[in-house]
Amino acid sequence: MSEWIGELQSALSREFGDKPQLATLATVDRSGAPRARTVVCRRVGDDGNVLIVSDSRSEKNDQIKASPQAEVVFWLPTLREQFRILGAARVTGGSPPDPLRPEIWQQMSPAARALFFWPAPGARKIDPPESFRLEAPADAPPPANFELIVVRPRRVEHLQLTVHPHRRRRWMLAGKWSAAAELNP
């Protein structure tokens, strides 16, 4: 495991504790315009992969399928640290089955699971309020539109603002992870 993975996992735990781990996911739309949105990171694996859940009907899923280049940015205001993770994203759903899909589904809160039973995200809101469930139990199977976005890193930068001068390091994946390169902030 590369040192940045342990540093990120530890920093996320210190910053967020049991609260949702918020990050910015940036993609590119079909016209080449950047698109960024705040997402909940469900897991950073020991391989460095970043897992995010998403609705198959969302624009970001289509954007990733058309152009898999993505960047995830974690800004940790209490720690005054930033992690930037550039890599290839892929969307996985129920076919072929992803073994992480039911596990992540069960770990989500009932309110978060309910979002996947709502009308399509981004569509014009014409549905009555009853169409927006408040909760979905863990034993309810994940609906077909419940997908995972997996970002596989190839370049990671870590910026620390609590030291002077600020510290910025970069790791690159080329077969295996490079040692950290110290950069000017």
pLDDT in tens, 68-122: 999 999 999 999 999 999 999 999 987 777 889 999 999 999 999 999 999 999 9
Beta-sheet strands, E only, within 104-174: 146-160, 167-174
What tokens does 144 get?
């077909």
What rounded mean pLDDT belongs to the chain?
95
- Compute the average pLDDT of residues 33-47: 97
pLDDT band at 15 (very low <50, low <70, confident <90, very high): very high
pLDDT score of 27: 98
pLDDT, one tens digit per residue, over 111-154 is 999 999 999 999 898 888 888 989 999 898 999 999 999 999 99
Give the CATH number of domain 3-120+130-183: 2.30.110.10
Could you tell me if 2 and 175 are in contact, meaning their C-beta atoms sit under 8 angstroms apart? no
Alpha-carbon span 112 to 53, nearest angstrom:
10
pLDDT score of 1: 83
User: Which CA distances in Å does 12 have to 23, 32, 72?
Assistant: 10, 31, 13
What tokens does 44 get?
């950073």
Q: How many residues does the chain have?
A: 185
Using a pLDDT cut of 90, give the percent of the chain over it: 88
**Which amino acid is present at 8?**
L
Contacts of 28 (CB under 8 A, 6+ apart): 34, 35, 63, 67, 69
Poorest-pLDDT segment among 131-145, 153-167, 168-182: 131-145
